[in-house]
Amino acid sequence: MTQAPARNGEESLPAHGSIHAVIVRPIYCRAFVGRQDELAFLHELRREAGLSHGGLVLISGDAGVGKSRLVSEFRSGLPKSRWHIGQAACLQFTQRPYGPILDVISAIEPNVRRLASAQSRREQLNAITQTFARVALKSATIVIIEDLHWADAATIELLAYLSARLASMRMLAIVTLRPEEFHPETRRTQHSRG
């Protein structure tokens, strides 16, 4: 291996072509600007959820407007020892029924490996909702689902079912989506064909 000559006391580096050099620089996030009201609102809802007045929040906006950054800033300000936090994303080309919900459950309740089989869709929705209720009884819970616009029909149906039951739970569900890409009727049609 050849080395490039050192200059002014600098350490010599391998010559070009012998080893791929990596330049390491710190990555700085831009300051969080212009979303203080939204962040304060999320913290207000979190406090309410901690008092058994949970709910579901939809954060909607075009790609790149800062939905995920808002959620990240909110999450970084949480007292970690007092909250169970589960986060998952809907994937564009992988529409596993209840996929992000099951990922969240496994993150906040590691003892649940898979859901028990159910006789009907209603029983399945009840079983998942009861799992969240049990977790929320032990500790206040934050559930974050990113990119709902890519969700399968079963996940959308479950979130609608769960949202009606959150009012008496210590759970806040935060969901992000791009409204221009969210077409639940398309998801429903794909789900009924599959």
Instruction: Dump pLDDT digits (tens) for 21-35.
Output: 676 766 555 655 577
Query: What's the pLDDT score for residue 148?
Result: 93
Query: What's the pLDDT score for residue 193?
Result: 40
Higher confidence at residue 25 or residue 73? 73
Mean pLDDT of 156-161: 94
Q: Which domains does the chain have, with CATH numbers?
A: 36-193 (3.40.50.300)
Query: What's the pLDDT score for residue 110?
Result: 82
Cβ(84)–Cβ(111) below 8 Å: no
Cβ(160)–Cβ(121) below 8 Å: no
**Summary mean pLDDT of the chain:** 81
Q: What tokens does 108 get? A: 């906040």
Q: For residues 35-58, b (16+ Cβ closer than 10 Å) or e, as one string?
A: beebeeebeebbeebbeeebebbe
Mean pLDDT of 90-95: 82
Which residues have a Cβ under 8 Å from the Cβ of 142 and sit 6 or more positions away? 46, 49, 75, 78, 83, 84, 85, 86, 171, 172, 173, 174
Cβ(143)–Cβ(172) below 8 Å: yes
Neighbours of 144 (CB within 10 A): 23
Neighbours of 124 (CB within 10 A): 20
Q: What is the pLDDT of residues 1-18, one digit of tens each?
A: 445 555 555 444 455 555
Q: What tokens does 123 get? A: 């029983």
